């Protein structure tokens, strides 16, 4: 697909610094403060002027033309599904959850919310629509009421104040691993910490969405792709640790370790399209 010149992403020094900061696990608010913007919206404006848009799923800025292509692909794959119809209707101005629910044959907006949750979507007040769930483990619907009792009166009232169609998240519960089970991963974590800057330099997207040359060769592409899965598995495992030693390490590298795995996979997919 040809890309018009006015939509071509501009990778200037500030854009690269922002992308690097996100890869390191910084938030948009933190970056806005660091670069002297009033808030993250000013940061967004700077990126939009350079043909980038915020991707809520990937939690980073993506070139506008890439984002449009991904949306077109998703719509073409799911155009006939009821979930896609729900998303489309909520994109219209003045969309009302009750009206949409009745139009699609649901009893009410609550039944619509249950249906969308079953399809892997949750309500986003910021987007005014349902978005794909990510990074949150939720209990079965049958346990929602009992789980809410643990929140206390204040949290329950906050949950009742959500917008129509929203679902109430429940606390994530991890089971404790046997002591010493993850000790063998400590050298890997120490190695990643020592080489943090090199890894980030390697994985931050550059012009045309490419990454360093040796990563995009056939041999290296395979090894990086295979590495991303163990990193994600390790992320899930470490998150379940409870010892003070693990808490120290996890607090230190949690944000950028997850970002490295996601950015690596994303960069490889981008290189495969060129």
Closest CA to 109 of 88, 135, 90, 133: 90
Give the strand pairing for 60-63 and 121-124. unpaired
- pTM of this prediction? 0.34
Region 5-70: CATH code:
1.10.10
- Is-contact 24 256, C-beta < 8 A? yes
Question: What secondary structure letter does DSSP report for 208?
Answer: G
Answer for the pair 55, 62: CB distance below 8 angstroms, yes or no: yes
195-213 pLDDT, tens per residue?
877 777 776 665 544 444 4
pLDDT of residue 32: 93
**CB 74, CB 121: distance < 8 Å:** no
Q: Which residues of the chain have pLDDT under 70?
A: 1-6, 65-80, 93, 134-182, 203-274
| 3-class secondary structure, 53 | strand
Average model confidence (pLDDT) across the chain: 67
CATH number (1.20.1270, 1.10.10, 1.20.120, 3.30.70) of 80-160 reads 1.10.10
Per-residue pLDDT, 4: 54
End-to-end CA distance of the chain: 11
Kindly state the tokens that stand for 186: 């400590």
In order of 10, 29, 55, 61, the CA distances from 42 in angstroms are 17, 10, 16, 14
pLDDT digits (tens, 9 = 90+) for 129-187: 898 886 544 443 344 444 444 444 444 444 454 554 444 554 444 444 444 566 777 77
């Amino acid at each position: 697909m040809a890309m018009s010149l006015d939509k071509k992403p501009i990778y200037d020094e500030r854009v690269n610094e922002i992308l690097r900061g996100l890869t390191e696990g910084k938030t948009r608010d933190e970056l806005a403060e660091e670069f002297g913007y009033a808030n993250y919206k000013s940061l967004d404006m700077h990126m939009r002027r350079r043909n980038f848009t915020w991707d809520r799923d990937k939690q980073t800025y993506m070139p506008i033309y890439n984002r449009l292509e991904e949306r077109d692909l998703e719509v073409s794959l799911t155009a006939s599904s009821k979930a896609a119809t729900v998303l489309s209707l909520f994109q219209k101005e003045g969309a009302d959850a009750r009206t949409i629910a009745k139009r699609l044959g649901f009893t009410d907006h609550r039944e619509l919310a249950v249906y969308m949750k079953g399809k892997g979507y949750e309500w986003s007040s910021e987007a005014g629509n349902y978005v794909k769930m990510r990074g949150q483990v939720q209990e079965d619907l049958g346990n929602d009421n009992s789980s809410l009792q643990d929140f206390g009166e204040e949290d329950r009232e906050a949950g009742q104040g959500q917008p129509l169609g929203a679902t109430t998240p429940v606390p994530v519960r991890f089971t404790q691993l046997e002591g010493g089970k993850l000790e063998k991963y400590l050298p890997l974590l120490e190695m990643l910490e020592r080489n943090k800057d090199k890894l980030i330099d390697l994985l931050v997207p550059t012009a045309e969405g490419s990454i360093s040359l040796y990563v995009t060769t056939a041999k290296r592409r395979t090894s990086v792709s295979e590495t991303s899965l163990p990193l994600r598995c390790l992320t899930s495992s470490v998150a379940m640790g409870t010892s003070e030693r693990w808490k120290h390490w996890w607090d230190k590298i949690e944000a950028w370790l997850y970002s490295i795995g996601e950015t690596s996979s994303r960069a490889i997919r981008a290189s495969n399209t060129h």
